[in-house]
Amino acid sequence: MNRDADGDGFPVPVDCDDGNPAIRPGALEVRGNLVDENCDRRVSPWVAVAAAVTNQWALDGSRTLLRSLVVRLAPKGAKVTLSCRGSSCPFKATKRSTVARDLAPVSFSKLFRRARLRAGTRLTLTITAPETIGRIYTYTTVNGSLPDPRIECRAPGETKGSAC
Closest CA to 73 of 95, 48, 106, 46: 106
CB-based contact 113:144 (threshold 8 Å): no
Task: Tell me the DSSP string of 69-80.
Answer: EEEESPPTT-EE
pLDDT for the residue numbered 87: 95
Residues 6+ apart with CB under 8 A from 77: 98, 99, 129, 130
Label the pairing between strands 52-60 and 63-72: antiparallel
DSSP label at 96?
E
pLDDT for the residue numbered 1: 59
Question: Which CATH number does the domain 48-154 belong to among 1.10.3050, 2.40.128, 2.60.40, 1.10.150?
Answer: 2.60.40
> What pLDDT tens digit does each residue of the chain (164 aa) get?
578 888 888 888 888 888 899 999 989 898 888 899 999 999 888 999 999 999 999 999 999 999 999 999 999 999 999 999 999 999 999 999 999 999 999 999 999 999 999 999 999 999 999 989 999 999 999 998 999 899 999 999 898 999 99
pLDDT for the residue numbered 100: 94
pLDDT for the residue numbered 161: 92
CB-based contact 81:98 (threshold 8 Å): no
Prediction pTM value: 0.81
pLDDT for the residue numbered 31: 85
pLDDT for the residue numbered 3: 83
DSSP label at 151?
E
Residues 6+ apart with CB under 8 A from 32: 44, 45, 46, 131, 155, 156
Domain ranges of the chain: 10-45, 48-154
